Each structure stands twice: as structure tokens, then as C-alpha cells.
């Protein structure tokens, strides 16, 4: 093994093998948009008595080199998968819908007149200031 460092003779990283063995029996529960959302959901699931892990959160720094979508995900044990799906469904049901912004109280015609009056007031003020010198 001399000269291989952490890698074995076949170039297999022992840490990677340990992580892969540990991930057996895990399913992807949710593809998060970013690490903040993933950790928020992981904490929500923890409150529900479920244990989920966030994977891929450090890959966001490589956006541009890697595809921008599907980097951050939550994984959970096979035995807790259904309970996790139900908890995620409850969480998604309580989220507000994306509603369009309320229309402005000022209509475009009024906004134009307000702009013109402000421009005139500024010009008159500058003229008066220049004449006072």
C-alpha cells in the first residue's frame, strides 16, 4: 500500500467506500432548490421525529462547472421514507401560493405628472440657487 495514501491499490477511496456503504438503505426524499431550503426541511423533519441528511450542499460553489439543478437533496432511511413523504406533503400544503404583486396605487398617468412636477421644482430650485450666488 506504500505510495497510495488513502487510496487502495485499485484507486478506490476508502472514505468513499465507507460513505457508500453507509448510504445503502437511503432514498432521496426531496430535491431542494438550495442548501437553506434543504436544512430548513431537515429541521422540520427532525421536529416530526424523522432523521434526514442533506447531501450536495457544498456543490453549490461549483455552479458553472456542474449543472445548476439537482445538487442539493435530502435523503432518508427506507423505513422512514413514507412518513417523510407525508411530512413533506404537509409542509408543501402550508406554503403560500406564488401570487402576483398587487397593482400600484398610482396609475401611470399620475406618475408621469408627478415626475414632471418634480423635475420643474428641481429646475426652479437650482435656478434660484444659482441666482443667489
Looking at per-residue confidence, does 106 or 110 come out higher?
A: 110
Q: Are 28 and 75 in contact (CB under 8 A)?
A: yes
Listed range (7-21, 46-60, 99-113) with the worst mean pLDDT: 7-21
pTM here is: 0.53
Measuring CA to CA, how many Å separate 76 from each of 30, 51, 88, 118? Answer: 9, 7, 12, 60
Q: Is the pLDDT of residue 118 over 80?
A: yes
Distance CA 69, CA 63 (A): 9
State the pLDDT at residue 21: 46
Answer yes or no: CATH 3.30.70.1530 is held by domain 25-93.
Answer: yes
Give the per-residue pLDDT at 12: 47
Q: Which residue bears the cell 431550503?
A: 37
User: Rounded to an integer, what distance in angstroms lies between the CA atom of residue 96 and that of residue 106?
Assistant: 27
Checking if the pLDDT of 7 tops 50, the result is no
Q: Give residue-wise pLDDT tens across range 48-105.
A: 999 998 888 776 555 555 555 667 888 999 899 999 999 999 988 887 777 776 666 7
Amino acid at each position: 500500500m506504500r505510495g497510495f495514501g488513502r487510496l487502495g491499490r485499485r484507486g478506490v477511496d476508502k472514505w468513499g467506500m465507507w460513505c457508500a456503504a453507509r448510504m445503502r438503505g437511503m432514498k432521496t426524499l426531496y430535491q431542494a432548490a438550495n442548501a437553506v431550503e434543504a436544512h430548513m426541511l431537515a429541521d422540520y423533519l427532525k421536529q416530526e421525529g424523522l432523521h434526514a441528511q442533506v447531501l450536495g450542499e457544498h456543490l453549490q460553489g461549483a455552479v458553472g462547472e456542474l449543472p445548476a439543478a439537482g445538487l442539493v437533496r435530502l435523503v432518508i432511511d427506507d423505513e422512514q421514507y413514507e412518513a417523510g413523504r407525508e411530512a413533506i406533503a404537509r409542509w408543501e400544503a402550508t406554503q403560500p401560493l406564488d401570487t402576483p404583486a398587487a397593482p400600484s396605487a398610482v396609475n401611470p398617468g399620475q406618475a408621469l405628472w408627478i415626475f414632471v412636477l418634480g423635475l420643474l421644482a428641481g429646475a426652479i430650485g437650482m435656478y434660484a440657487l444659482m441666482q443667489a450666488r
